[in-house]
Structures are given as C-alpha cells and as structure tokens.
Amino acid sequence: EGFGVYKLTDQASMTTAIKSAYQTGYRLFDTAQLYENEALLGVALKELAVPRDNYFVTTKVAEQNQGYQTTIQSVKESLRRLQLDYVDLLLVHWPMQAHFFATWQALEDLQAQGLTKSIGVSNFGIVHLQLLATQAHQRPVVNQVERHPGLNQAALIKYHQAHGIVTQAWSPLARGKYLQDPV
C-alpha cells in the first residue's frame, strides 16, 4: 500500500503527513505533476533523513506535459522538484490520443537513462493497453486505476493478470464513501 499526497498543498502538512506515514510503515509515496506538490514532497523526504533506498516514490506525467520532448523535460523538472536522482515508478497519468506512443517512448528512454526504475500507466483501459502493446518495447509494470467496492474493474484486472501488469488502486475507499458502509 502507498501513501498518496494528492490534497497536500502546504509544507507543514506535507512534512507532518510524510513523517507520520513513514513512522507507521508506509514506504511508497505517490505524487504527480498535476498535484503541484512534488517540491513539498521533496522537502519532506529530505527532512526524513533516511537512506534513499528506504522509500519508493511514484510520480506521473500530466496531460499537458505529454509528447516525447515535453515528457523528457517535465520529468527532469519533477526530479529537480523532488530533489531526487530518480523515481522508482513513473506513470503516464491519463491516456492522451495526440501523444500516446511518443509519451510512452519517452518513458522507455527515461528508464534507459536511469531516471526511473520502472514505468507504467494510470487510468488506462483495456483498449489503451492493447493499443500500447502494438508499438511499445515493454509493457507497463503497473496500471493505477480507480478501484473500490463500487467499481471493481473485474475485466481490467483479468486483463492485467493475463499480461503481467500489476493493478494499483487509487481511491480504494471511494474518497471515504465506503467508510460508513457496514459491509
């Protein structure tokens, strides 16, 4: 399980949240260019003062930064903001028709350069994954999708399992909707 920082927008809250999350056992921290808080997370991780290989960082390429060269530049900027030499997992945040293959090629090249250890996608459906497979040199290792009791994504999960793609849920409690559900 990971700790998402989607709604954290000030340094004090980010630092407190990351410290508490780390102390309770979280090691995966998930951010995105779109969240506009990568720099806050970078500071909070530095303040933890633990070795880099003690935690795992995921970030995602925003829609407006997709396309080959724009992706490369935006990821280098993300690394600067995060104060990291690499991220553990880099995702395409949403499938964009205009830059679909170019963005994935950029992720493959960023991985070859050592700027990310693994690459994947977020919010991709079966058709997106099938299309990507027609030109990609490698499959995504992860597809991060909305998944919770009201949206089980059974067909997508079956596809992932058949193709060696890890399913990672975002909003697994439907933004709190199911916290009061007795089931």
pTM, full prediction: 0.94
Q: Which residues are CB-contacts of 84 (< 8 A; sequence separation ≥ 6)?
A: 42, 45, 52, 57
Residue 181: its pLDDT value, please? 75
Active site residues: 35
Residue 32 burial (CB < 10 Å; 0-12/13-18/19+)? buried
> Distances from the Cα of 76 to the Cαs of 2, 25, 27, 36, 174, in angstroms?
23, 29, 23, 15, 32
Which residue positions in the chain have pLDDT lower than 70? 171-178
Confidence at residue 76, expressed as pLDDT on a 0 to 100 scale: 98
Instruction: Tell me what pLDDT residue 148 has.
Output: 78
